[in-house]
């Protein structure tokens, strides 16, 4: 077992040393781990970085990050994903506008756009005059998105292990046709999400955001709706975290607002139509 690294939390009267799991949950019932490792502690320390220094991410780092991504699990070894590394500041600026005018995309020296990619298999089938019907079904579309997500999470962890920061950008799906045009995506290739990568700005006002208590998400043998009783406590914990950064929100209200109606999806209620136009009808 690897000896745990600890996080120092400061206040006006004392300095408190806390295990990373205590920082992640802010749960008095989970303040340390009996089993841990350097990898687990890196995962516990993850946070979204939205402010980056003006420092490049080199080819050596990119190669390592993609190697880690390709080491993720993939369904039936189909490897139904690809990624586009965007470094050109002008293209990043255009993409930033398309994803809700996000400065993180404009600032980060590297923006990775992760693709559900059934196009590679389709081109192979065409070249070999082989039938290819399965990509027309929902399962294949889901498979491409799952493969891309697994690879991207490996990539994010790899980037953080190199001292870089990351933030996922789901707003890539707000304007999928315009994103496809910008990135010259062929048929049966769909931009699932982005990942901004760069050196974190140490002055960014952000920390390790608390997550739901394990008892709210970990079920044993069968699903237990009684686990929802842990949500009110978490709502207060997250509100306390947000207050530290001068934000006024818990968890319950933003979640319900995000899922209230189709307007809250910011155009993504049309994704089925976009997928069909991209050659992924998902029937």
pLDDT of residue 16: 55
DSSP calls for 185-208: --TTEEEEEEEEEEPBPTT-----
How many Cβ atoms from other residues are within 10 Å of residue 200's Cβ? 20
Give the confidence band of 8 by pLDDT, cuts at 50, 70, 90: very low
| Residues 65 and 35 grouped into a single domain | no
Q: Rg of the chain over CA atoms, in angstroms? A: 21
Q: What mean pLDDT comes out for the span 146-163?
A: 98
| Residues 74 and 93 grouped into a single domain | yes
pLDDT of residue 2: 39
d(CA 133, CA 139): 12
Q: Is residue 52 assigned to a domain?
A: no
Q: Is residue 263 assigned to a domain?
A: no
| Residues 77 and 199 grouped into a single domain | yes
Give the confidence band of 192 by pLDDT, cuts at 50, 70, 90: very high
pLDDT of residue 15: 43
Residue 11 has pLDDT above 80, yes or no: no
More confident residue, 4 or 282: 282
d(CA 168, CA 172): 10
| Residues 192 and 230 grouped into a single domain | no
Q: Is residue 229 assigned to a domain?
A: yes
Q: Is residue 239 assigned to a domain?
A: yes
Q: Is residue 252 assigned to a domain?
A: no
| Residues 30 and 116 grouped into a single domain | no
Q: Is residue 261 assigned to a domain?
A: no
* CA angle, residues 86, 170, 155, in degrees to nearest 5: 55
End-of-domain residue from the set 203, 222, 257: 203
Give the confidence band of 232 by pLDDT, cuts at 50, 70, 90: very high
Q: What mean pLDDT comes out for the span 212-227?
A: 97
* Least trusted range by pLDDT, from 14-28, 129-143, 243-257: 14-28
Print the domain residue range for 65: 59-203
Q: Is residue 228 assigned to a domain?
A: yes
Number of structural domains (the chain) is 2
Q: What mean pLDDT comes out for the span 221-247?
A: 97
- Cα torsion 44, 158, 156, 98: sign: positive
Q: Is residue 270 assigned to a domain?
A: no
DSSP calls for the chain: -PPPP-EEEE-SS-EEEE-HHHHHH--TT-S--SS--HHHHHHHT--B---B-S----HHHHHHHHHHHHTS--GGG---EEEEEE--HHHHHHHHHHTTS-HHHHH-SEEEEEEEE-HHHHHHHHHTT----GGGSHHHHHHHHHHHHHHHHHHHHHHHHTT-EEEEEGGGGSSHHHHHHHHT--TTEEEEEEEEEEPBPTT----------HHHH--SSS--GGGGGGHHHHHHHHHHHHHHTT----SHHHHHHHTSSGGGGTTGGGHHHHHHHTT----
Q: What mean pLDDT comes out for the span 218-230?
A: 97
| Residues 150 and 230 grouped into a single domain | no
For residue range 18-31, list pLDDT tens digits in order: 899 999 999 999 99
pLDDT of residue 109: 98
d(CA 1, CA 9): 24
Q: What mean pLDDT comes out for the span 67-92?
A: 98
More confident residue, 15 or 85: 85
Whether residue 51 contacts residue 203, with contact meaning beta carbons closer than 8 Å, is answered with: yes
| Residues 213 and 182 grouped into a single domain | no
End-of-domain residue from the set 136, 171, 203: 203
| Residues 185 and 78 grouped into a single domain | yes
pLDDT of residue 12: 39
For residue range 83-131, list pLDDT tens digits in order: 999 999 999 999 999 999 999 999 999 999 999 999 999 999 999 999 9
| Residues 171 and 226 grouped into a single domain | no
| Residues 11 and 81 grouped into a single domain | no
Q: What mean pLDDT comes out for the span 221-248?
A: 96
pLDDT of residue 17: 62
| Residues 98 and 24 grouped into a single domain | no
Whether residue 205 contacts residue 245, with contact meaning beta carbons closer than 8 Å, is answered with: yes
- CATH number, domain containing residue 66: 3.40.109.10
End-of-domain residue from the set 188, 203, 218: 203
Residue 240 has pLDDT above 50, yes or no: yes
| Residues 122 and 223 grouped into a single domain | no
pLDDT of residue 6: 42
Residue 5 has pLDDT above 80, yes or no: no
Give the confidence band of 282 by pLDDT, cuts at 50, 70, 90: confident
pLDDT of residue 268: 94
């Amino acid at each position: 077992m690897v000896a745990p690294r600890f996080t120092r939390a400061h206040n006006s009267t004392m300095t408190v040393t806390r295990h990373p799991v205590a920082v992640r949950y802010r749960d008095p019932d989970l303040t340390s781990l009996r089993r841990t490792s350097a990898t687990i502690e890196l995962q516990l320390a993850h946070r979204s970085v939205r402010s980056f220094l003006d420092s490049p991410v080199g080819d050596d780092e990119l190669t390592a990050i993609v190697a880690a991504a390709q080491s993720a699990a993939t369904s039936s070894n189909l490897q139904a994903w690809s990624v586009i590394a965007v470094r050109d500041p002008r293209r990043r600026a255009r993409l930033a506008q398309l994803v809700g005018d996000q400065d993180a995309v404009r600032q980060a020296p590297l923006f990775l756009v992760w693709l559900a990619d059934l196009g590679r298999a389709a081109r192979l089938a065409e070249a070999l005059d082989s039938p290819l019907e399965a990509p027309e079904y929902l399962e294949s579309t889901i498979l491409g998105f799952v493969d891309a997500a697994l690879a991207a999470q490996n990539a994010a962890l790899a980037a953080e292990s190199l001292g870089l920061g990351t933030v996922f950008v789901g707003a890539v799906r707000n304007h999928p046709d315009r994103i496809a045009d910008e990135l010259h995506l062929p048929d049966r290739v769909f931009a699932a999400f982005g990942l901004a990568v760069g050196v974190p700005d140490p002055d960014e006002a952000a920390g390790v955001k608390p997550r739901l208590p394990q008892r709210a998400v970990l079920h044993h043998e069968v699903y237990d709706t009684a686990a929802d009783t842990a949500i009110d406590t978490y709502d207060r914990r997250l509100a306390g975290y947000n207050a530290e950064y001068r934000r006024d929100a818990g968890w319950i209200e933003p979640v319900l607002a995000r899922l209230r109606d189709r307007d809250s999806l910011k155009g993504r209620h049309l994704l089925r139509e976009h997928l069909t136009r991209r050659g992924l009808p998902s029937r």
